[in-house]
Structure 1
Amino acid sequence: MYEGKDVRVVVNGRTLLDGVDLQVEAGKVTVLVGPNGAGKSTLMKALSGEQRIVGGHVRLDGRSIDALSPLEMARRRAVLPQSVEVAFAFTVTEVVSVGLMSAGVREQGRVARLLAAVDLPGFAGRRYDSLSGGERQRVQLARVLAQLECGHADKASYLFLDEPTASLDLAHQLVVLRLARAHADNGGGVLAVLHDLNLAAMVADRIVVLAGGRIVANGPVDEVICDQVIEEAFGVRVRVGVPPAGPYVLPQNIRSPAHGGAAA
């Protein structure tokens, strides 16, 4: 288990997280939602070790992450941030190969397989800076998946995704979340920051709602996605499960039929 307990973050005198408890379980997808400025990205950075905390602790399988080497952390958790800047004219293969830190050599077959998984077949030789924003995001996802493949076969690995669907069209939003679901179904843990509550409800085993640097709800999807919680966190009155006037579209088919979801 990956766990933050009583996590507190203060930056320039401002409290961004105030005593937050969060568990990311192996075999589960945990989705973090909340309004802008709630502290979602800060919490993910604190859990991954990228943000200094002034109170509480973060532990992986009972050990403080401060006691783990950078290599050990890289083998156990991979982070896909909201955006990644690449300063040089790397090819897609070179960017994905960064994730193969312990493989020793660039494995063309593995890179090709991972690119196919993120729906970028044939992109290996393309220049990264020639791609669209959504294509770059999927290349970066292939990179972090490559990193986790270089981890320990006998230990759960954790995939942290910060707004992974923000720059993607509907079809590729589903691709990314299916990959997250597959990682959990294969024994890994997933923490994802999402803004779309429909996508969150479809992929999550557990939803955590953050507002004002504090957790206001944490539980199974059907307990958290309700009128009262959404109004409290987002300040918006809604009626969950009631169709709006006029046409509407909901994404479908993230979970496989074997996992309890309906196939589209």
Structure 2
Amino acid sequence: MAMEPIVQLGGKYKEELSATFEGLRQRSSVSVAAAQEQLQLLQQQAEQLKQSSPEALVGTLQDLSPVEVPTPKLLDTFGWLTVMEVTKTVVSVLTSYLLAPFIGLFFESLTAIVLAYGVVPALLYRQLTATESDTEHRFYLLSAAAAEGLLVGFIINNRYLAASQPIAAVTPLFIALVAQLGEGKFPSRQAFLGATLGSGVLAHLALSILFGSLSFPGFLLSALYAGVGFASIQLLLKDSQAPSYKYQFIYFIGAILSQGIVFGIFGGAPPAQN
């Protein structure tokens, strides 16, 4: 059945989270040797980034040649991204409506912006590259999603957007679902990209119309989410053997930056309360 891999993936995530919490409870402090290994790994990856030319990246994004779609990899990557985005959204809403005044006692909006768009992504990247465990990768990504939800919720509380923003989890959700349900049915890479990304944009539009929140900033943000999804998929198709966390990190940070750009351009001061 087409839905069976999705159910199995959900069960695996549940088991891994339980195992991760238990492992973290028992973990001792990081040794000096482990820290040195981490530093060497970061240096190696920095060298790899230097060697990767912008032309190669552009070539990867423009590549529309036939390719065998690694459906299990896509389902694993964007399935967990959906969980992350749901977590971020829930924490963000709770923070915006309930916790923002309390958080405001500790730091201001500028500090939250620096943390959300600089410190948390850097710390997340450091933790992801310091371990080879997929279970720990997912735990760190989920923790970062909760942290970003807290910070972004506080930031949004101090910015006003005329219409509701699109639900960030919709794009990765439809990428995962369409990739799984349409496995083996796409005649070309263009058809695959159009179906996975186009369905997400259409879902955003449908939800906006249904709830009467259709607006240009909202449409732009949904288009940016699709653009980040496009880049993530193309990079994954280029090297499907790389760890899933790399593409999850790319999409997650890209989505956060997209949201920040839209709120920075179109957001304003909250309306005065009468």
Answer 1 or 2: which has greater strand percent: 1
Answer 1 or 2: which has greater helix percent: 2
Q: Tell me which interval the TM-score lies in, with the shorter structure as reference length.
A: under 0.3
- Higher radius of gyration, 1 or 2: 2
Query: Under a length normalisation based on structure 2, what TM-score does the superposition of the two structures give?
Result: 0.24
Query: Under a length normalisation based on structure 1, what TM-score does the superposition of the two structures give?
Result: 0.25
